[in-house]
Amino acid sequence: MQKGSPKILLCLVLCLLVTSGCGTYTKTKASSAAYLINGSIGNADSHYYIQNIPFIKQKGNLCGPAALSSILKYYNKDISQEEIARSIYLIPVHGVLNIDLENYAKDRGFWTNVSYDKDFTKLKENIKRDLPVLVLVRSSHIPFKKTYHYLVILGYEDAEEIFIAHSGDQANESLHYKDFLKNWAEADYWSLVICPKEKVNWDLDAQEYNNLGLIFEQEDQLDTAIEKYKKSLEKFEKPETLFNLGNAYLKSKKYEDAIFYYKRTLELDPNFADCYNNLAYTYMEKDLDLDEAIKYANQALQLKPANKMYYLDTLGMIQFKKGLFNDSIKSFEDASEFAADKKIGSMIYYHLGMVKLKAGLNEEAKKALQKSLELDPQSEAQETLKGLL
């Protein structure tokens, strides 16, 4: 079985957006919004300010890590800009990529949403939900030298036409709508919303619900993941979401539901190789027609040879269960040749060792199990080897 769900393809706009480092954002001459910031006037549709967002003064070119650190601290995740930079800062471009900022937050369990919508409405809606918005703007208009800068938008005031932002070198800076829009346009109107997954309680579009479901699935909160995937499908029936829903049911050992959604996926996308693979695995787990399972695994291999290490492993497991030991050994041995990842390689060698053990090839089984343990010291091979030594 190939674990996980297919990755959502993301575009890196403007040559990855960060092409010549982080610049200091040019200050505007918009008037102060102190009355809103200090809370003397309450929030309303025409003016809103999110209180208690820490200001992190950027160090060097770390505007992106500083902005992300500010937002994460607002959500009680205390990670310094230096720690973030150690993971994602790219020396050749003297900055960070927008996609790496998003993935850093996602990898820590946050729901994220990227937008390229130039309409201020969506930006303001997020602010009114108490969600600070990380944006990218052009910071220098020197010919032939494009530099960009990350800001945290945390408020707005329609009467004076200003946004309020932590700019990296100044807290609560006022940015006039017109000036902000001009510089934001140069960065393709990119914005990023980050939110703890449990706090996402407003209506989303189909893709956003799917992405939220993935986060819950990755943390094994499968009932919630299933709920989010179904909400996504209510909006739009997409093969990717059907496949993800099938995976959540498979992990929940609800095999009949998994089969239903895998087959529905293939009705919409007959060339979905990962789906054939996981359908084959589900047939094996459910003790259904193993010949049919082998057919599905071979279909996956034919459609997407690049993933053969996963698909051959699935095929080998089915052949093992069917008692075709020689065929199973060949499948696992072939799979091991393509396993670049150590954990995947360890899993394949463990399966190879188990089938060789079943076939009475004890010495060869030991070698395969030792290889599994060498690649991953936490491998299940450890316990099996104890019984053989």
Which tens digits make up the pLDDT trace of 144-190? 678 899 999 999 999 999 999 999 999 999 999 999 999 999 999 99
Under a CB-based contact definition with an 8 Å cutoff, are residues 366 and 385 in contact?
Answer: yes
**pLDDT value for 2:** 52
Under a CB-based contact definition with an 8 Å cutoff, are residues 274 and 307 in contact?
Answer: yes
Under a CB-based contact definition with an 8 Å cutoff, are residues 147 and 20 in contact?
Answer: yes
Alpha-carbon span 207 to 236, nearest angstrom: 9
Cα distances (Å, whole numbers) of residue 107 to 101, 104, 218, 219, 225: 10, 5, 10, 11, 17
**pLDDT value for 272:** 98
What pTM does this model have?
Answer: 0.81
388 burial (CB, 10 Å; 0-12 / 13-18 / 19+) is middle
Sign of CA dihedral 380, 382, 383, 388: positive
pLDDT under 50 in the chain at which residues? 3-20, 29-30
**pLDDT value for 34:** 76
Q: Which residues contact 221 (CB under 8 A, 6 or more apart)?
A: none
**pLDDT value for 5:** 42
Beta-bridge partner residues of 48: 156
Alpha-carbon span 179 to 283, nearest angstrom: 59
DSSP letters for 51-80? TT-------TT-HHHHHHHHHHHHTT----
Looking at the chain, list the stretches that DSSP marks H as alpha helix, in order from N- to C-terminal side: 13-16, 34-37, 63-74, 81-88, 98-106, 120-128, 177-185, 206-218, 222-235, 239-251, 255-268, 273-285, 290-303, 308-322, 325-336, 342-358, 362-375, 381-388
Tokens of 88: 């994602």
Domains (ranges, CATH) in the chain? 53-199 (3.90.70.10), 203-251 (1.25.40.10), 252-388 (1.25.40.10)
Q: Where do we find the tokens 């009949």?
A: 256
Closest among 253, 255, 308 to 277, alpha carbons compared? 308
pLDDT in tens, 291-337: 999 999 999 999 999 999 999 999 999 999 999 999 999 999 999 99
387 burial (CB, 10 Å; 0-12 / 13-18 / 19+) is exposed
**pLDDT value for 4:** 45
Tokens of 173: 């800076």
Alpha-carbon span 217 to 223, nearest angstrom: 9
Long-range contacts of 13-18 (CB under 8 A, 24+ apart): 13/116, 13/188, 13/190, 14/187, 14/188, 16/93, 16/97, 16/98, 17/97, 17/98, 17/136, 17/148, 17/187, 17/188, 17/190, 18/64, 18/90, 18/93, 18/94, 18/95, 18/96, 18/97, 18/98, 18/148
